[in-house]
C-alpha cells in the first residue's frame, strides 16, 4: 500500500484572550490526535505531529487559532497551509473537530482545497480556479 505523508504543524501560541485557549498538550487532545493517526494509518496515510517553536502566533480570535495549526502534504503541493484555508468557515468553533476535517480533506480530497490567491489561475475562464 502506498503511504501518503502528511504533517500537522503546531506553531507556538501567545494567547491574548483566554476564551480561545485550547490546551493541545492535554490528554484529551493527545487521544484525539492519536486516534486520527490510527484511522489515517489504516487508509495508508501517515500523519506526523510537529511542534514548531520558531513561529509564534498571537491568538486574538478563533481564526488566529486556526492559523496556528498548519498542514504539509508535499505530495499534494501543500507546504504549511493553515487549516482555516483548508476548511473555510468553522461551523462549531471546535479546534480538534476542525483539525480532523482539514487533515481528512488533505488526505482524501486535496483537489477540493482552493489555491491560495497568489496561485490562482483560470484555464478556460469558467472561474473554477483550476
Whole-structure pTM value: 0.85
Domain of residue 90: give its range: 4-119
The count of structural domains within the chain is 1
Helix (H) or strand (E) holding 12: strand 4-15
> Is 126 part of a structural domain of the chain?
no
> Is 30 part of a structural domain of the chain?
yes
* DSSP codes, 52-90: EEEEEEEESSHHHHHHTEEEEEGGGTEEEEEHHHHH-S-
Cα–Cα dist 72/90, whole Å:
20
Report the helix count and the strand count for the chain, using DSSP H and E. 4, 4
Mean pLDDT per 10-residue interval, the chain, length 130 residues:
89 90 89 97 96 93 93 93 92 95 96 70 45
Cell of 3: 503511504
> Is 129 part of a structural domain of the chain?
no
Give the pLDDT confidence score for residue 34 in this predicted structure: 97
Amino acid at each position: 500500500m502506498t503511504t501518503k505523508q502528511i504533517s500537522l504543524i503546531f506553531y507556538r501560541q501567545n494567547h491574548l484572550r483566554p476564551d480561545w485557549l485550547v490546551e493541545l498538550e492535554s490528554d484529551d487532545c493527545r487521544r484525539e490526535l492519536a486516534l486520527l493517526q490510527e484511522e489515517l494509518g489504516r487508509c495508508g496515510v501517515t500523519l506526523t505531529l510537529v511542534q514548531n517553536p520558531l513561529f509564534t502566533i498571537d491568538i486574538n480570535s478563533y481564526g488566529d487559532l486556526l492559523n496556528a495549526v498548519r498542514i504539509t502534504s508535499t505530495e499534494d503541493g501543500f507546504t504549511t497551509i493553515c487549516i482555516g484555508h483548508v476548511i473555510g468557515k468553522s461551523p462549531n468553533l471546535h479546534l480538534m473537530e476542525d483539525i480532523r476535517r482539514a487533515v481528512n480533506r488533505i488526505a482524501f480530497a486535496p483537489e477540493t482545497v482552493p489555491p491560495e490567491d497568489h496561485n490562482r489561475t483560470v484555464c478556460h475562464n469558467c472561474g473554477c480556479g483550476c
